[in-house]
Structure 1
Amino acid sequence: MAGLPKLPGLTFTDPTLSSFHLSQTFNVCNGYKVPKYNYRGIGNRELNANSVKFINTNDPVRFDPSLTYGKTKAVAVNIFKPHFALYDQKCLTFKAFFKQGVVESPNEYYRVRHVNIIYFLEDDSITVMEPRTPNSGIDQGRLLKRHRVPKNLAGEYWHWKDFGVGKNIVFYGVVYHLVDCDGFTREYMASQGLVMADPEQLPPDPYTQSRLMSSSSHNTFTKTPSSDDNFRRFLEYDGKVLRFKAIWDDRDSEYGDIRKYEVMYFLHDDTVAVKEIHTKNDGRDPYSQLLRKTKLPKIWTDRPINFPSIYLERSDEEVTEYYQPKDLRVGETIFVLGRKMLLYDCDSFTRNYFKKALCIEQGSPIDVSEKPKPPPERKIPPHDGIGSLEDSLQNTITFLPRPPRKDMVKQILNANKYLRYEMKMEDIHPEDTIRRFILNYSLGDSTCKIFEPPIINSGIIGGKYLKSTLLPKPGTNPLDPEYYTPIDFYIGAIITVFQQRFIITGADLYVYRYMQANSSKFPCEVIENIRNFMFNKGYLNDDINQLMEENKMQIEKEERDAIGDDLKVTQTEMEKCLDKFGISAIEDTTFQKEYPKEELVVPEHNVPPFGIQPVNNDGPYPITTAPVPDLACKDEAQRIATTEYDTEEEKIKKYYDRILRKHKHICENAQPELPPEDDCLTKERKAKAVTFAEDQKCEY
């Protein structure tokens, strides 16, 4: 039929053809134009281009289309499309939620609202849509009209680059948390280099969940009556009560305080009573109980939505769960009709019941006693410059000002006693080099007074430079200053008198005498410094002369005591011969036993320069001695040796040497030296033993 000429009578129509329109080459999918493949021609005929018959069989290697058709034309420039035409009807959709606080409602504290944030790419506008929930009572739908939302006060607006799954964005004070996005948004963000995080779960609305739970429980579940025998429980557990000690911390409310209670759980009927513990003078009304015996609901806000709580009290049908003994443990918190009470202790019966009946070990008691608050720090106000620091401090210590206490003993003992020093100024101006100052330090009140002597024909009038005042050291705390003391005054010391520096150049002889009398109060360096100054000035000539006289007298005494020690002994010919051959003489042991070397040593004692020390001498340690012994007791040989060869002065000297030696033995050994019992002078020597006063120390 296709090869017949197109003449009348040779053409035929196909009765199956009914559609003669021109087919479209594009399809519209989600608002986008997509090329259409395998479409048919006019009359729903197959196109020749789609047939295998018209496939070119020429070898593409040998066949060059440019030889037949000429060179191809250049690629046409893409047509510019504006931004609004390129992103027309293209939007980014994010799923998000925000929390809305609920005020003055016992059923809920906040709501979780789910929204869809739509971002229009063509003009960067944003709108927020909330899906409608049936019977929610909230005006839902479009929460934010479509417009460009400002980001901050700097004139910036929210852009799609600021969006991302898991981020928080703020529109006019409302914080939206993005949890997910659709497929186009995720693909578009990935093409722009922003990879979206994994989707998150939308949190449920607690109030909606509670409504669903209550409606489902009332519709599908029915409570069965308890099979417990109340009479048996009454006979078994009557009078058995679990007692817990609890506290209620109500300090968040106005005039609130920590209050103690006693929670009693009655085992025979599972009721709870709360008794308030009053203390003496607590200032509260003496009510005996906070809660009478009743079953305590565990979730006190849980009640059916359609329950008329204004007119009726809740029964067992409306309460989901009551408190049981297993819910009461030391350290746990329970809710007594909205009051949070902490159980911190229980009695012994309660501990035994939990251990034997429930196999639960109660915790140790918790110390809930309030720790005493530390006293507030007493801050001393700064000195206002009027009066002394002591007077200002007294005004802060007591309500009625009192004069500061003074050391009257110190003032009485050191009345009119001053330490005088000579000072000069540091060389600041040439005219001040000749000025001299006298510093008087009062030992009675520790004040310093400075006086400048006048210099004739120099233009320096002199007079009082500083009145009697306490002289503070530089760099110390002005509220608690450290004052100058005599320890700081020595030759060459630099002191600062209210920003003026002085150098101490001299001191009075009384200063050195005071330091000698009170050497424990001064460092050795200060005393040595003052002593050297006094020596260089010649103020210690009298002391030196006196010391020389004492040394001279001591030397004379030692010379008198050493009479006979340096006598030259004339050796015999026999002794010279023995010394020549190095032979020592044989010692007489009998003589050494009778006269040991210790008795031959001259004891160390102080003998007065004039004469011999008297018998009853007054010293730091009282000595009680007997009169001079009688020599009648001694044998004839000793008596003759004593009377004929010793003078009267030597006898007295040996006698007191023996007494002083015993004195030294007692000081060193804490007991007197006992004489031998067979001596004929035993009684006499015991009578002459040296005794001391109690609580006395021996010093050499």
Structure 2
Amino acid sequence: MSGLPKLPGFNFVDPTLSKFHLSHNFYCINGYKVPKTITSGVGGREIDANCVGYFSSSDPVRYDPSLTYGRTRSVACSQFIPHFALYDSKCLTFKAFFKQSVPESPVEYYRVRKVNIIYFLEDDTITVIEPRTLNSGLEQGRIVRRGKIPKNTAGDPWHWKDFNVGKDICFNGVVYHTTDCDVFTKEFMRSHGLIMADSEQTPPDPYTQAREFSVQVHETKTPPADDKLRRFLEYDGKVLTFDALYDTRDQEFGELRVYGILYYLADDTIAVQEIKEPNGGRDPFPLLLRKTKVPKVWTDRPETYPSVYLELSDAEVTEYYQPKDLLIGETIYILGRPMLLVNCNEFTRNYYRKTLCIEQKPAIDFKPKPRKLPPAPMPPHDGIGSLQDSLQNTKKFSNTPPKKDVIRQLVNANKHLRYMLKIDLVHPEDEIRRFILRYSLSEGTCNIYEPPIRNSGVIGGKYLSDSLVSKPGSDPLNPDYYTPADFYIGALLVVHQQRFIIIDADLYVYRYMQANPEKFPCTVIENIRNHMFNKGFLTEDIAEQLEKECQDQKKAARDAIGLEADIVQTELEKCFIEQKVKPDPDADLEYERKKAKILEEYTESLKHKYVVPEHGIDPVNLTCPYPIVIGEIADKTCKEQDVGGDSFTPKHIDTPAEKVQKHYAEVYRKQHEICDHPRPIECEDPEAAKRLAANQKPLPEPFEPIMVSNVENPKGACKVKAVHFADDDKRCLRDKYDLCDHKTPKNHCGCTQYQK
């Protein structure tokens, strides 16, 4: 079809196409323009540019950089909030007043009426409301209906920008003077750049003042009635509790007795109850005094009062006890009985502190100190059973086994110390006999076993079962038992009148002493250590100690490097010392700060940060087999006049780690030339492959050492050592891979790490 000429009758019309308008590029959704993801041509036809044939990997339109570099962090677009939703239920409130004239009144000429002007931000409407006042005689409430109020003849409505404190505002012919506003209004105005003026005081209403002055305050001398119901509801169940002492020891058969005084706040009554003591010898009774009001002076009564058949009433009593009279350390009289208050509970202390602002004194210790009873004598051991069982039976009526140290048993379960014993010779036939002492760390008991010896005439086996062995000469009722601190090589043990000498021990004994040195004397540990050394059991310990001392010496040698270095003083410092002048520390403060910064950067550059990968190459012997004689090295000390003002650090010197890096970098360069760029490999003669190494070749005769000429410093060497930090990093970026790829020998520039 495409090859037909464009003549009438040779063109074909697509009957499905009925639209020939230009398609739009945006959709309108909720009032926002949203671009279309796929563009189309006239009538909604597909564009040839959308075909796959037009797609290329370098197409900047369809290429998404986020597929390669990842999504970039972008700030989210702020959400659009309509005006009516943003300021919904938000109002500006101003306090104001206006003066209303009062005609035809001889008492007043005007009145001052206080109002609240409320401005609604959501639709810029205003309303005026007058707070209601009791007995004002005026119709109060909403004065101005909510709506937009014009401020001039042009009909422009009032706006919140027109409001301020101390301003006259006219609404419908009434002038309102603003005096104050709330906190939200101040913050809102300040956020929009409007600072509210200081608040003003509303002038008083003369009529209201006259009414207040005319009202007289009626005073009465009648005391207020005691509302018993209110006190009952407020203080029911709240009782002040005190401990009191009633001392009658000055009388015959007197004693010191303790009572509890209860003060009921609901009706100001007092009750006294006796505090029962176990085995006190007295019959228990509930109360010494039931709830009643107690007078402070119980003998204060008229002489003609018939006390034979009448009790005291409130008319005869001048004063009763109140909470302010009950203080710790004070003596009160309960119907003639003196009682000393010695203590109170926590509720009582809090009540006095919070309600009466009185801090109660601390409790008085009145109880006598208990006397120490002499220890009960222990009966002698009858020999039946162990001593612990016999002592336990004397402490209780029922026979119970003595308590054991469970923690010791759990910590030292199945742990034993073994020693070899021999008998202190009395008979010659006992010389060959040996015994094994096993000390249990969990029980503290000793077990002695004799290994059988064939044809010795002595039957071996258990010599002593697990039991506590006491030392000779100790108290039979409080014996002193053998412990591991008493066992050492050559120690004499007396077990049931039989004398033994320790001649050997296990290596575990010495390990236990190392782990618990606080349980053994130093002489015992030294004795066991010498015995183990003579036996040859401490070979590994000695090797570890020698290795540790060797490492400590190497560390001390490394730490000592540079401590004895001579500090070269500059000419300026020498001049200061001769003149006895101290330099101003603030003068070179910036200089010292810059110097410290550069020294820190230089120190960081010397650190070995590059890790050489596993290369599998044999170490290269760089030792020269020929002796080299080097001439005298020139003095490299830079004087002050030769060094510039920005010279702070010497020229970079390769560390041993960097030398190794450069060596393997050269190896990688050769590998890159051979493997990545193939070249014909030259074959070597088999005889040449058997040649000796350079350090194994015999020196030629006659031998002359290699002579190296003297090293001279070039002119301006001190200035070459100056370190300059340039802002551009083109040199570092250009030489970043130069050591491996460009095959050009370069020194490490110190500004980048090796990449290969």
TM-score by length of 1: 0.33
| The structure with more radius of gyration | 1
TM-score by length of 2: 0.31
